[in-house]
Amino acid sequence: MNTIDYITKLTTTPSPTGFTKEIMSYVMAETQRFGYEPVQTPKGGVLVTVIGKNDQEHRFITAHLDTLGAMVRAIKPDGRLKMDLVGGFVYNAIEGENCTVHISKTGKTVSGTILMHQTSVHVYRDAGTAERNQANMEVRLDEKVTSAEETRALGIEVGDFITFDPRTIVTETGFIKSRHLDDKVSAAIMLNLLKLYKEEGIELPYTTHFYFSNNEEIGYGGNSNINPQVVEYLAVDMGAMGDDQQTDEYTVSICVKDGSGPYHFELRQHLVRLCEEHSIPYKLDIYPYYSSDASAAMRAGADVRHALLGAGIESSHSYERTHVDSVKATEALVDAYLRSEMA
C-alpha cells in the first residue's frame, strides 16, 4: 500500500460523522500491523504515539476521517426519505448522487438516489428553479415501496445514516476525483508515513502523537486527548480553492488564517522555511469559511503553537478533486516537519 492506495481505501469506506466505527477499526488494525500500539479513545478517535529522541516536548499531528453524510429525518407518505444533513454542505452538492441507507436495526443496507421531489421536468414547472432544501430533497429507494409502512417494513427508521457514493477515480493524468478527499488524503499521508518510519527504523526528534479524529466536520474532532507535554499541534487538512485563493491542486497549501483567526506565525514560518530548504512547492493562503481540528483545540484551551496545511482540494464538500503532485508536496512537508527541530 502507498499513499494513493490508502486514499482509495479510505474514501471507499463509509464514515460520516457519528458512523465511523468501521474506518477507525481499519486504522487500528493497520497501525497495529505496522508494529505500533494504537489506542482508541472513548470519543472514538485513534491515537498512535511514536516515542522520539526528546520525550520532554511533544508534537501532535491530526487528520480527520469523519466525512459529510446525512441521516433519515422522516419517512414520507410515498415511502421516500427526508434527510437531515451531517456536516456543513449544501443540498445541491449531493443532488443526483447515489447513496446507501445503513439500517440500524438489522445492519443491512439499501441503495438509493438523492433527488429533488420535483425532478421530472415533464410534470413540475419549477423543476429547475425550486429551492434545494430539506423540504424538497428526498431519497428515492431502490426497493418496491410506495408507502411509509412498506419502507418501515425494510427496517428503515429515523436516525439511520445515509452515505454518499464516493466515485473514487485516479486518472492517467494524475488527478484524484472523489467525495471525501477532505480529509482522507491527509489521513492516507499519515498512515503512509507511519508505515515508512517503522519500516525504515526512523526515530523522530520528538515524541509525536498521530491522531485520527472522527468529529472534525461538526467542530470538535481533535480538541481533546492532547498530552500536556505537547507544544506544537499540526492539523493536516484540505487546502481551500476558489476566487481570491492562492491554493492549487499541485502544491501544498499552508494556511495563515481561517475563520477562527490567524495560525501561529513562527510555526507557519518554520513550515515555509522547510518548503524552501527541501524545494517543496507551496502556497500561503487564507481560508475564509473554515475551521480545523487545530482551531478546535485552541478554542478548548490548548496552550500550543498551532498550524494548518494540506493538499489543495477543488470543489470542497462536493465531488472533490486534487492531483498527485499536491499529495506528494503535502506528504513531503509533513515528513520534513516531523523530522525537523521545533520552530
Are 59 and 200 contained in the same domain? yes
Check whether 84 has a pLDDT greater than 90. Answer: yes
- Please compute the mean of the pLDDT values over residues 182-189 and round it to a whole number: 98
Are 60 and 83 contained in the same domain? no
Q: With bands split at pLDDT 50, 70 and 90, how would you rate the model's confidence at 343?
A: confident
Q: Which residue has the cell 438489522?
A: 106
Are 75 and 58 contained in the same domain? no
Q: What pLDDT was estimated at residue 167? A: 98
Q: What pLDDT was estimated at residue 174? A: 98
Give the total number of structural domains in the chain: 2
Active-site entry in 216, 232, 314, 320 = 216
Q: What pLDDT was estimated at residue 333? A: 98
Are 61 and 194 contained in the same domain? yes
- Please compute the mean of the pLDDT values over residues 217-222 and round it to a whole number: 90
- Distance CA(315)–CA(30), nearest Å, equals 30
Q: What pLDDT was estimated at residue 127? A: 86
Q: What percent of the chain has pLDDT above 90?
A: 97
- Please compute the mean of the pLDDT values over residues 100-105 and round it to a whole number: 98
Are 97 and 241 contained in the same domain? no
| Domain end residue (candidates: 164, 192, 219) | 164
DSSP string, 48-71: EEE--SEEEEEEEEEEE--B-EEE
- Residue 265 belongs to a domain: yes
Q: Which domain holds residue 116?
A: 69-164
- Residue 28 belongs to a domain: yes
182 belongs to an annotated ligand binding site: yes
- Distance CA(87)–CA(220), nearest Å, equals 12
Check whether 203 has a pLDDT greater than 90. Answer: yes
- Please compute the mean of the pLDDT values over residues 260-266 and round it to a whole number: 97
216 as an active site residue: the answer is: yes
Are 61 and 87 contained in the same domain? no
Are 290 and 307 contained in the same domain? yes
State which amino acid sits at residue 298. M
CATH (domain of 127): 2.40.30.40
First to last CA, the chain: 32
Q: What pLDDT was estimated at residue 34? A: 98
CATH (domain of 26): 3.40.630.10
323 belongs to an annotated ligand binding site: no
Are 62 and 75 contained in the same domain? no
Q: What pLDDT was estimated at residue 221? A: 87
Q: What pLDDT was estimated at residue 103? A: 98
- Residue 187 belongs to a domain: yes
Q: With bands split at pLDDT 50, 70 and 90, how would you rate the model's confidence at 87?
A: very high
Q: What pLDDT was estimated at residue 295? A: 94
Q: What percent of the chain has pLDDT above 70?
A: 100
180 belongs to an annotated ligand binding site: no
58 belongs to an annotated ligand binding site: no
Burial call 23-47: b when 16+ CB within 10 Å, e when fewer = bbebbbebbeeeebebebeeebbbb
Could you read off the pLDDT of 128-170 as tens digits, one per residue? 999 999 999 999 999 999 999 999 999 999 999 999 999 999 9
Are 158 and 296 contained in the same domain? no
Tell me the average pLDDT of the chain.
97
pTM of the model: 0.97
Are 237 and 277 contained in the same domain? yes
64 belongs to an annotated ligand binding site: yes
Cβ pair 162, 101 in contact under 8 A: yes
- Residue 170 belongs to a domain: no
Are 13 and 130 contained in the same domain? no
Q: With bands split at pLDDT 50, 70 and 90, how would you rate the model's confidence at 60?
A: very high
DSSP string, 300-333: TT--SEEEEEEEEEBSTTSSEEEEHHHHHHHHHH
Q: Poorest-confidence range of 33-37, 124-128, 138-142?
A: 124-128
Q: With bands split at pLDDT 50, 70 and 90, how would you rate the model's confidence at 33?
A: very high
Are 186 and 322 contained in the same domain? yes
